[in-house]
Amino acid sequence: MPEVTFERQYRTPYSEGFLLLEGEDRVGRAELHYTPSVVYCTLVVEREMEEEDLLDLIQQIDDDIVVSASVPREDFVVTAYHGRDLGVYEDEFLDEEDLEEDEDEDDEDEDLKH
């Protein structure tokens, strides 16, 4: 598997989120959560991968991100999923959807009155 690069999306005192890229192509996403003794990772890959490639990717995440975070850890626990991105939904989008639903309901109420 070619080298994957990591593009940080956010960082808090106890977590980080990364896009996983292979060149310009998105491979997936890793969400890391740091506790006093364990680092948990939710890994979503967007393509089929052989287990060996998945294990190599997990090792790269450990080497490139977890170790460099300089947090003490006794274990690194990864839960891996295969999936695809369905979109990013923010308050602004959700507010617009609610407004459209309210307008549709108002139109239906008007139709029932006639």
Average pLDDT taken over every residue of the chain = 86
Range(s) of the domain holding residue 80: 5-86
* 112 within domain boundaries: no
> How far apart (Å, rounded) are the C-alpha atoms in residues 63 and 108?
57
CB–CB of 23/12 below 8 Å?
A: no
* 10 within domain boundaries: yes
CB–CB of 45/27 below 8 Å?
A: yes
Looking at the structure of the chain, the number of domains it has is: 1
Q: What is the pLDDT of residues 9-48, one digit of tens each?
A: 999 999 999 999 999 999 999 999 999 999 999 999 999 9
> How far apart (Å, rounded) are the C-alpha atoms in residues 64 and 16?
13
Q: Say whether pTM exceeds 0.75.
A: yes
Band of pLDDT at residue 76, cut at 50, 70 and 90:
very high
